[in-house]
């Protein structure tokens, strides 16, 4: 099967389980949304998938192949791309160089420019000088330069004005149409639910809800429960 699949994944940090028994499926051609309040373990989960942290147990497969024992660059070369939190540009490199650093084919820059025409005028600008929104486009573009089959995106709305996020979100729909599997991690639910197909809600390291995004859009209570209430929604 062509996708990202997590089975009974438990991740420990400092001896404590941060995520427990996670089962998650991010198929190609779909946008999967992972929601949850701050500290729920969303970033930890993405870090475990891409190999940033190596303390996961269970099974993580990419296109049917177990990747848990592989190094970060090996996972990347198998088609996994991870856009980290906080716009992880190479600030001293130009926009073009940033893309080339992630490229595995000669037409990478052209493809990224086709997707984000706003960056064309900035091609030779130092990436550290871009606006927050442009930097976000750049890290997504850079990840796509390696032609990934699955793209992990961590909290791209962090520190960005909602209007900027609204501009970038539709890109994920477009990428999904091209057959890329997207796993979108968000703290802000509303925008993510507009572009997503399936949604998972993570709270205190456990999946407390799984369902269609459309379904969740109508269930404000579920989200409020996970975000603002004393106990996770799933326990009520």
Rule CB under 8 A: which residues touch another protein?
A: 13-16, 37-39, 50-52, 71-73, 76-77, 81-82, 84, 88, 90-93, 97-98, 100-102, 104, 142-143, 146, 155, 157-159, 162, 165, 186-191, 204, 223-224, 227-231
Q: Which is nearer to another protein, 114 or 129 (CB)?
A: 129
Q: How far apart are CA 172 and CA 33, in angstroms?
A: 11
Q: How far apart are CA 146 and CA 179, in angstroms?
A: 14
CB of 52: closest distance to another protein in angstroms?
A: 6
CB of 80: closest distance to another protein in angstroms?
A: 8
Q: Which is nearer to another protein, 2 or 88 (CB)?
A: 88
CB of 211: closest distance to another protein in angstroms?
A: 17
CB of 138: closest distance to another protein in angstroms?
A: 12
Write the burial class of residue 16 (CB in 10 Å: 0-12 exposed, 13-18 middle, 19+ buried): exposed
Give bridge partners of residue 185 from the DSSP assignment.
34, 154
Write the burial class of residue 178 (CB in 10 Å: 0-12 exposed, 13-18 middle, 19+ buried): exposed
Q: How far apart are CA 29 and CA 31, in angstroms?
A: 7
Q: Which is nearer to another protein, 143 or 213 (CB)?
A: 143
CB of 116: closest distance to another protein in angstroms?
A: 17
Q: Which is nearer to another protein, 97 or 210 (CB)?
A: 97
Residue 182 CB neighbour total at 10 angstroms: 26
Q: How far apart are CA 135 and CA 158, in angstroms?
A: 12
3-class SS of residue 123: coil
Q: Which is nearer to another protein, 177 or 228 (CB)?
A: 228
DSSP structure class, residue 69: T
Q: Which is nearer to another protein, 81 or 202 (CB)?
A: 81
CB of 25: closest distance to another protein in angstroms?
A: 22
């Amino acid at each position: 099967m062509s996708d990202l699949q997590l089975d009974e994944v438990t991740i420990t940090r400092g001896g404590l389980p941060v995520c427990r028994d996670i089962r998650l499926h991010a198929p190609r051609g779909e946008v999967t949304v992972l929601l949850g309040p701050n500290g729920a373990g969303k970033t930890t989960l993405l870090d475990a998938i891409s190999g940033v942290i190596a303390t996961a147990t269970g099974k993580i497969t990419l296109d049917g192949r177990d990747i848990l024992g592989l190094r970060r660059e090996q996972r990347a070369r198998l088609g996994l791309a991870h856009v980290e939190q906080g716009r992880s540009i190479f600030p001293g490199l130009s926009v073009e160089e940033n893309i080339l650093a992630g490229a595995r084919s000669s037409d990478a820059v052209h493809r990224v420019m086709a997707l984000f025409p706003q960056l064309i005028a900035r091609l030779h600008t130092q990436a550290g000088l871009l606006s927050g929104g442009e930097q976000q486009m750049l890290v997504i573009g850079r990840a796509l330069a390696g032609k990934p089959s699955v793209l992990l995106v961590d909290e791209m709305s962090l520190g960005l004005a909602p209007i900027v996020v609204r501009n970038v979100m539709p890109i994920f729909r477009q990428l999904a149409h091209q057959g890329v599997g997207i796993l979108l991690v968000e703290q802000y639910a509303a925008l993510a639910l507009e572009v997503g197909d399936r949604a998972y809600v993570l709270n205190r390291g456990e999946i407390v809800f799984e369902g269609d995004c459309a379904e969740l859009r109508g269930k404000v209570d579920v989200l409020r429960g996970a975000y603002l209430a004393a106990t996770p929604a799933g326990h009520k």
